[in-house]
Structure 1
Amino acid sequence: MTATATALTRQIRVDHPSAGYAAARLARAAAQDAGLPSVLADRAAVVAAELAGNIDKHTGGGSVFVQQSLSGRGVDVLAADDGPGMADLDHWLLDGNTTTATLGAGLGAVKRMATEFRITSSPADGTLAAARLLDPAAPPLRGATGHFRLAREGEEYCGDAVALAEVTGSRTAVVADGLGHGPDAAEAAEAALRVFTENPDRPLPHQLTNMHRALRATRGAAVALVRIAPRRLEFCGVGNVGGASVGAGPARLLLSTPGVVGFTLPAAPVRHLDLADDDVVVLHTDGVGTGWRLPGRTPDLLLLAADLAHRHRNPRDDAAMLALRADRSA
């Protein structure tokens, strides 16, 4: 059994030429904190600098987000801009094709250096890109993931938190939102995660009950839990953390029961849903708006994280999201 709590995501606003250097510095630090060897830390820095440089030179602005990965020992670098996008994306994915002087990598080399690379672009909507660099010496976790955990603008503490656990045949996750923001909110959310990581395979209502006891000395939190396995889902939540199951058909909302874990714990029913093979389960705090839900489309998880972080996040609040796809072979 493996349980992993997320570290803080760092945002670099690309509104000045030195943003590429800032992105490189943060990506190298995140890689070192994740325990990656120096050669992979250097690659992460190049990837982040290249994605930031492209935004600076070719668009009206955007952001790069750097974080430790939830899919294994590694780093995720997410990038999103405000357009204009690229009409001929395939051309710029060839090694060596770059229109201006950057570090010389180009998107093709970024794709080659990354363990996983995703990009989509259109002249009207701009570009979303995501690179994941994982240590090949460490086994990756099963199933696809996308996430972020962002503090309120100007804050160092984040009251929203995410953790993911791998157990035989399923994946269980928690998203917690400590009331308010700052260090007291972070204390509440982290207390919920400690309960979760101690024994993540407990039944979901038992998790909430144990969290309620542990959070009585804090300001309390909203908490949502999800357990997914091939073709089935369990969801249980209290407070303002919710989400949706997104796939080829209409999105199905995952709504929590009103209340505050640690203060007023209602009887929260467990919701059971059938999942199609390509369905994606998304949980997020209220720092992420609801306008992202597009029925009839299965999103790429890394690009969804980039999109929600840049286009649907409220910078005046902490924000966190987690997107999961079940391991079909479990």
Structure 2
Amino acid sequence: MSTMRAVLIKDAKGPIENLYVGNIERPVPEEGQVLVKISAFGLNGMDLAQREGMYPPPPGTSHILGVEFSGVVHQLGPGVTKWSQGDEVYGLVGGGAYAEYVVCNHGLLIKKPATLSWVEAASIPENYITAYQAMVKYGQVNKGDNVLVHAGASGVGVAAIQIARVLGAHTVTATASKRDKLEWLLSIPNGATHAVNYTSDDFAEHVKQTTNGKGVDVIIDFVGRTHWEKNIDSLAIDGRMILLAFLSGGDVPSVNLRPILYKRLKIQGSTLRSRSLDYQTDLINSASFGAVVSQITGAEGNGPLRTYIHKVYPWNEIQQAHREMAENKNSGKIVVTVS
């Protein structure tokens, strides 16, 4: 039996202090799978929730944390012809990326261009696929639309803002709780056109002013309960709201349904991790997503879409990395390197 090192959780769940690097059996690729030797993996909010026992991985996937990674193809499972040993890739999994090796379906891998570092490549999959699904597939953002993105400095938020700008949105308003995050979002290429501190300002009133009373056509929301009423107030006629999470809670008491009816609003919940393999594969390999991902460069590149790294940790500092995310300190992506 071959073993590998991986980030494990003492007692299977618990606080940040329960994370440690230990030994575990190395997975073997099955039909249609590829074994990848990991160079780096990205952190996501779902990792914190899973660590605490609140977000179990989908059935049939690894119990190890982590859904996105970059690395080198190490071994091919039966029936795989698309990839070769030694290919540099990045990709998406239902779990298992906090490790030296991960098995991934061959259709969920993307070729890593030489222009991206391992860290930059590892920061792309969950962020950009989620943002694309929300902004394009469900939000159906069009040229001239007005857009509101909550949690704007998160990895998905930064990706969604840029996608909206590249697709021709007229205004893209971002919300965050800290001034430095808002200033940063306004400063980056294809960043937000407007920014609001939701802790001190009324974002609904702000977007009404910037849209001459019309409201926004698309909202991307991660917050839920505390933002619900202002979100509904912010939406224009025929507006679309995409719910990606409910960080403030999933229950909204005394919901007023009238504006949903009168404004003909569309409210769409959207998840990625729980989607079927066929859905994820079709999404990643679609021509429209390919057109998006081909435009991504690092922060110092000149592409219209860029990936921004907040901080890089070696994996023996995984507790510090989780703490950084838990304290909401990041503007952009937190990435961990495997050594």
Q: TM-score normalised to the size of structure 1?
A: 0.27
Higher helix fraction (1 or 2): 2
